[in-house]
Amino acid sequence: MHFCHFAPLQSLLLAGTRKSLLRWCSSLPLVTPLMLCAANAPTGLMCDLLQYPEQTVISVSTPRLGWIYNPSFRGDSQKAYRLIVASNEALAKAGNGNMWDSGVVNNSTSINVACGGTVLQPGTNYFWRVQTEDSKGQLSSFSSIQQFNTAAQLSDPLTSAGATCQLPANNSANCYPPRFVDASPVLITNTAPGRWFIDFGQDAFGYATVHMNGSFNGTRCQVRFGEMARLRTEPECRTGPAIPVLTSNGSSSAPLSRGFPQSE
pLDDT at residue 185, as a whole number = 84
How do the pLDDT tens digits run along the chain, 264 residues long? Answer: 444 444 454 544 445 556 665 565 566 555 444 344 579 999 999 999 999 999 999 999 999 999 999 999 999 999 999 999 999 999 999 999 999 999 999 999 999 999 999 999 999 999 999 999 999 999 999 999 999 999 998 988 766 655 555 555 556 788 887 777 777 888 888 888 888 888 877 766 566 677 777 777 777 777 776 654 344 444 443 433 333 344 444 333 334 444 433 433
Q: Which residues of the chain does CATH 2.60.40.10 include?
A: 36-170
SS (H, E, C) the chain: CCCCCCCCHHHHHHHHHHHHHHHHHHCCCCCCHHHHCCCCCCEEEEECCECCHHHCCEEECCCEEEEECCCCCCCCCCCEEEEEEECCHHHHHCCCCCCEECCCECCCCCCCEECCCCCCCCCCEEEEEEEEECCCCCECCCCCCEEEEEEEEEECCCCCCCCCCECHHHCCECCCCCCCCCCCCCEEEEEECCEEEEECCCCCCCEEEEEEECCCCCCCCCCCCCCCCCCCCHHHHHHCCCCCCCCCCCCCEEEEEEECCCCC
pLDDT at residue 76, as a whole number = 97
pLDDT at residue 237, as a whole number = 39
Cα–Cα separations (whole angstroms), residue 253 to 213, 217, 248: 5, 11, 9
CA proximity to 237, closest of 221, 213, 217, 214: 221
For the domain bounded by 36-170, which CATH number is listed? Answer: 2.60.40.10
Whole-structure pTM value:
0.59
pLDDT at residue 239, as a whole number = 38
pLDDT at residue 23, as a whole number = 65
